[in-house]
């Protein structure tokens, strides 16, 4: 395990690469999902408002 983490002396370069990539890909996915959910709730809020005012 320690040998695996050591990456033959390239630990910093390998793990920074994989860590940064994971961070960016997960962040983008979460951001995209939040955008979709935000639109949905914005529209249902508006619909409720319109119903209330009728």
Helix, strand, coil shares of the chain, percent, nearest 5, are 95, 0, 5
Burial class (CB in 10 A: 0-12, 13-18, 19+), 14: middle
| Minimum separation from the CB atom of position 19 to another protein (A) | 10
**Can you read off the two tokens belonging to residue 8?**
């033959």
- Is 52 near another protein (CB under 8 A)? no
* 33 touches another protein (CB under 8 A): yes
Residues at the interface with another protein (CB under 8 A): 4, 7-10, 13-14, 16-18, 20-21, 24-25, 28-29, 32-33, 35-36, 38-40, 42-44, 46-47
């Amino acid at each position: 395990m320690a040998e695996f983490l050591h990456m033959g002396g390239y630990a910093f370069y390998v793990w920074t690469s994989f860590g940064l990539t994971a961070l960016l890909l997960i962040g983008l996915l979460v951001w995209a999902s939040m955008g979709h959910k935000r639109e949905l709730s914005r529209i249902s809020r508006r619909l409720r408002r319109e119903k209330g005012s009728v």
